[in-house]
Amino acid sequence: MTTTERLVDVGASDDVPERGRLVVEIGGPTGPVTVGVFRFGGRLYAWENRCAHQGGPACQGRIVSRVRERLDDERRSLGLRFDEDVLHMVCPWHGFEYDVTTGRHPGRPDLALRSFPVAEDGGRIRVAV
């Protein structure tokens, strides 16, 4: 955390269940920023609610497991499946998907969301902005 950052209490731990989210607007001297806090695998991640594509509300879309395509040993398609080990948030403007744990697009990892440090202590969630 740099000296210009401050830790902001954004809510209770119970506000963000596993595979869930909490989207908050945090006021500040340079204007508000909207942040989505997600929990997956027991850990918290915080991302700016601004898609790398056209600035859409990336944290306010569907939360859904990554879709993968299964192949057999002969490389024939066996169809689609959900990968329950990878959770995506989907920008509802245009469908850009981001890995909740990395904030990166699955096929263009340079398309990424701005991250914020997030900590959990005593049943409270704090984001550094």
Partner 1 sequence: MTDPSVRRLDTQEITTATDTREILANARRDIERYGLDDYLIVDVDSHHVELDSWPEILAYLDSPVMRDTANQMMRNWPQASHLALHNHPPGLTMQDVSGRIPHQASLGEDTPGATTGADRDVTLVRRAMDAMSIDLQVVFPQPMLETGLHPQPEVATALLAAYNRWFTTEILPREPRIRTMLGLPFENPDACLATIEEFGDTPGVIGFLVTSQRHAGVHRNAYMPVYRELERRGLPIGFHAGPNQADTMTSTMNRFLSAHAMSFVTCNMTHMTNWVVNGIPERFPGLKTIWIESGLAWLPFMMQRLDHEYYMRSSDAPLLTRPPSHYMREMFYTSQPMEWTDDKLLAATLEAIDAENSLMYSSDWPHWDFDVPGRIAALPFVSEHGKRNILGETARKVFELGDIAPSSHR
Interacting residues with partner 1 (CB under 8 A): 8-11, 21-28, 34, 49-51, 54-57, 60-62, 64, 90, 92-95, 97
CA gap 67, 83 in Å, rounded: 6
Task: Quote the least distance from Cβ 124 to partner 1, whole Å.
Answer: 8
CA gap 99, 102 in Å, rounded: 5
CA gap 75, 77 in Å, rounded: 6
Task: Quote the least distance from Cβ 90 to partner 1, whole Å.
Answer: 4
Residue 93 vs 120, nearer CB to partner 1: 93
In this structure, how many other beta carbons lie within 10 angstroms of the beta carbon of residue 60?
Answer: 16
> Could you tell me how far CA 58 lies from the centroid of its own chain?
8
Task: Quote the least distance from Cβ 42 to partner 1, whole Å.
Answer: 20
Which amino acid is residue 111, in one-letter code? L
Residue 57 vs 106, nearer CB to partner 1: 57
Residue 25 vs 83, nearer CB to partner 1: 25
Task: Quote the least distance from Cβ 115 to partner 1, whole Å.
Answer: 18
